[in-house]
Amino acid sequence: MQIIGSRFARRVMPALALACVAGVSAYAQKPPSVVKARLVLATQGAHSSSVAKAAVVGQIRAGYHINALHPSLDYLIPTEVQLNRSAGVTVERVIYPPGRPVRFAFLKTPLAVYEGEVLIGLVLKLGRADASSVIPLRGKLSYQACNDHACFAPTSIPLRLVVPILPASVPLQSAHAAIFSKIRFN
């Protein structure tokens, strides 16, 4: 009986151990990259002591969604933009798009979600700054990504933008017009 037991142990135990390790590593893998985001300015720079417009441009991978700012259910994680306090910049307003109501097989009522491209506007108040300097902006886009079967743990993407401060005599030129034409700042 010991001979059979030891043969069994020598053949089966390594395979069982390998299966356990594979299962643990599959469980420990990060979820796929579902959202990409960047922060852009509506002009090529800004003037000192002025108001500037910026936008978070998010792209959600096909087959996934993230909850809107105001999710349909209390326990759902909202999508939010947060900028760190920066010397010389105050966020006056954040403009989120309305969520699109989508029905999923696991729930009878539709959920307010973002899919595909999501554009979030920011109105920034710039303080006094020297011309030809820059103001660094840092923040994050927080969200919870889901597909029609499961949700991943909430996460965030870092956002960064350097705002060039231009002399008041230099007229500001539009940048990213296609993006900013889709955001309702009024």
Q: What is the pLDDT of residues 8-59, one digit of tens each?
A: 444 433 333 333 333 333 344 455 689 999 999 999 999 999 999 999 999 9
Strand 111-114 to 100-102 pairing:
antiparallel
54 and 140, same structural domain?
yes
pLDDT at 173: 97
Strand 145-146 to 35-41 pairing:
unpaired
pTM, entire model: 0.81
**Would 186 be classed as within a structural domain?**
no
> The domain containing residue 143 runs over which residues?
31-180
Number of domains in the chain: 2
pLDDT of residue 131 exceeding 90:
no
Strand 46-47 to 155-166 pairing:
parallel
pLDDT of residue 132 exceeding 90:
no
Q: Which CATH number goes with the domain that contains 138?
A: 2.60.40.1250
If pLDDT is split at 50, 70 and 90, which confidence band does 96 have? very high
- Measure the CA–CA gap between 137 and 13, rounded to whole angstroms: 55
pLDDT at 16: 34
Tokens, residue 1: 């009986």
